[in-house]
Structure 1
Amino acid sequence: MSYSIGISPCPNDTFAFYALFTDLMFDVSIQDLQTLNQRAQKKELDIAKISMFQFSQLLDDYILLPVGCALGHGIGPKIIGKTHATSFENKCVAFAGKDTTAHFLFDLFFTCKEKVFCPYFEITQKIQDGTVDYGVIIHETRFTFDNLGLVECYDLGALWEQQFHLPLPLGGIVAKRNLVDLEKITKSLFESLQYAKKHPAKTLDFVLEHSIEKDPKIVKKHIETYVTEDTQQLTPTGILAIQCLLEQTGHFDKNWLYSGAYV
């Protein structure tokens, strides 16, 4: 039996799950995170990498797997613009999607006059051409925006950690609750990550093919930032962080994490 799985083109995902593309157990597709969020809303995918905020809205249908999570430790989506600002009440701000954790975090800490939702790779250009005043960026752009003459106003991951004293849950791998092979699926994800960590050079061309940034040094930095101990297996601190975010969204289910054996 083959399971449909969607991952993002982010280097941390294409690195960690490179081996799944040769695993007959999975039919893998690569799409931007907001598209994956929307497909999960429609229950089109058996397994998907989605925003942690989106997961909070889908607890009846999906369960989080303990492998593949992306948590930021003092870092997260950044609010950037041409000039520094401390308030956005009279500004237009761009986001990579309505259902992203980045959008949820902005609303948790700030307000703005107008919002624009667009593909994440269009945000910096919209700031530069004046279509929007500011943007909330994710993915590898966090390492390169200053090369475009843009400045950071806030790191939402730092604000989150200052308030809750926990790392920031950004996204995770979810699976439909009714799948019969959750243990086998989780083990395959774990083994794919272990393969990538042992053979990083074999993943590089594939990762660069799908990454916005083509500089191997930037891609490596992104992977080192977001492929952490919590990606391999959620730590107790990581579990507390996700529980905290779910509570902040107003949607919480005690049975949100798959806890079967897989190692």
Structure 2
Amino acid sequence: MQIAFSPCPNDTFVFHAWVHGRILEASKLDVIYADIDQTNELALQANAPDILKISYAALPWVLSEYALLPCGGALGRGCGPLVLISDKHDPNKEHSRLTGARVAVPSERSTAYLLFRLWAKAEVPSQIEEIVVMPFDQIMPAVQQGTVDAGLVIHEARFTYPRYGLTQLVDLGEWWEKETALPIPLGAIIARRSLDLAAITRWIRASVTYAWEHPTASQAYVLTHAQEMDSQVAQSHIDLYVNSFTHDLGAEGYAAIKTLLNRAADEGLVPAINPNLLANPS
């Protein structure tokens, strides 16, 4: 069985036990490690993997072939993307700062980008000049150097942006939670509808449980794939993104997903979804 997920600490932490044969009943895995913008594209290909971690923003394009699994992904509170600016270029932190600005984003098919577009529509007085897509690890240096006026950042950038002398303009997660009182849907785990979805769900939950019960077992694996991230940042990443929603989305998780995708569809950012295709397969 082939699976694609990111090398980020939360994903390697969650899937460590399954990848390493600790879930005895589970099928063996052939793993593709790829950043989420790449897995979003992989999911659209004819020979796509059986299971993938993708952005919730990409879900409407693949729901006919793939089912959303109720576990294994990233959804929570206090873990949203940030919009960063550099004080050395302009100490004014008002939202009007983005009028006519060039803003770097990691992907145009990501939850971060959906949240940014929804926030900007409500909060930015006039049009943003240009959206520049670039790898997420290049965004903070670009803001620091003045190549762009602001940057939308995700992942461990929440913990490291002060090293670049940058300032948070807005925490989009905080904005979303105030707007909706719901958690933030970030990364989804999907599997082909032709597979035994109940079994895959059971194996992922067992892998999550194993990770929590043996927190040091995955340490070497996590750091091997953490792209030179130090161990403290990696642990902060895990602590933030692996939570009760990782084990079970529950009613609140599904409500958050539907709210995000319905709002985005209303703005023409994603195709409208069939709510029946979001049903819990477990």
TM bucket (normalised to shorter chain) is over 0.9
Q: Deviations over 1:202-231 (max 9, x none)?
A: 111211222246322221121111111110
- Number of the residue aligned with 2:6: 8
Residue type at the aligned position of 2:147? T
Write the distance in 2 (CA, Å) between the matches of 1:115 and 1:156: 17
Q: Deviations over 1:147-175 (max 9, x none)?
A: 22111000111111111111111111011
- Number of the residue aligned with 1:259: 280
- Report deviation, 1:60: 1.5
Determine which of 33, 46, 57 is the counterpart of 2:50: 46
- Number of the residue aligned with 1:157: 173
Write the distance in 2 (CA, Å) between the matches of 1:213 and 1:245: 33
**Larger C-alpha radius of gyration, 1 or 2?**
2
Residue type at the aligned position of 2:95? T
CA contact (8 A) 1:66 1:258 kept: no
Residue type at the aligned position of 1:168? I
Q: Deviations over 1:83-126 (max 9, x none)?
A: 33413121111111111111111111115211111111111111
Q: For residue 109 of structure 1, give the secondary structure of its aligned residue in structure 2.
A: helix
Q: For residue 201 of structure 1, give the secondary structure of its aligned residue in structure 2.
A: coil
Write the distance in 2 (CA, Å) between the matches of 1:52 and 1:216: 28
Q: For residue 196 of structure 1, give the secondary structure of its aligned residue in structure 2.
A: helix
User: Structure 1 stretches of 5 or more lacking a match?
Assistant: none
Write the distance in 2 (CA, Å) between the matches of 1:212 and 1:98: 23
Is the counterpart of residue 144 in structure 1 residue 144 in structure 2? no
Identity %: 39
Give the superposed CA RMSD.
Answer: 1.6
Is the counterpart of residue 185 in structure 1 residue 181 in structure 2? no
Q: For residue 17 of structure 1, give the secondary structure of its aligned residue in structure 2.
A: helix
TM-score by length of 1: 0.92
- Report deviation, 1:57: 2.5
Residue type at the aligned position of 1:106? F
Determine which of 119, 139, 150 is the counterpart of 1:134: 150
Is the counterpart of residue 105 in structure 1 residue 115 in structure 2? yes
Residue type at the aligned position of 1:127? V
Residue type at the aligned position of 1:256? L
- Report deviation, 1:193: 1.1
1:21-100 → structure 2 map (5 Å cutoff): 21-23=19-21, 24-43=27-46, 44-83=48-87, 84-87=93-96, 88-100=98-110
Residue type at the aligned position of 1:121? D
CA contact (8 A) 1:56 1:249 kept: no
Q: For residue 104 of structure 2, give the secondary structure of its aligned residue in structure 1.
A: strand
Q: For residue 200 of structure 1, give the secondary structure of its aligned residue in structure 2.
A: coil
1:186-201 → structure 2 map (5 Å cutoff): 186-201=201-216
Write the distance in 2 (CA, Å) between the matches of 1:167 and 1:246: 13
CA contact (8 A) 2:85 2:143 kept: yes
Aligned length: 258
Residue type at the aligned position of 1:53? A
Write the distance in 1 (CA, Å) between the matches of 2:76 and 2:169: 18
CA contact (8 A) 2:84 2:167 kept: yes
- Number of the residue aligned with 1:116: 132
- Report deviation, 1:25: 2.6
Residue type at the aligned position of 1:86? H
- Report deviation, 1:11: 1.1
Residue type at the aligned position of 1:91? A
- Number of the residue aligned with 1:233: 248
Write the distance in 2 (CA, Å) between the matches of 1:114 and 1:205: 41
- Report deviation, 1:178: 2.2
User: Structure 2 stretches of 5 or more lacking a match?
Assistant: 22-26, 88-92, 121-126, 266-271
Write the distance in 2 (CA, Å) between the matches of 1:200 and 1:74: 22
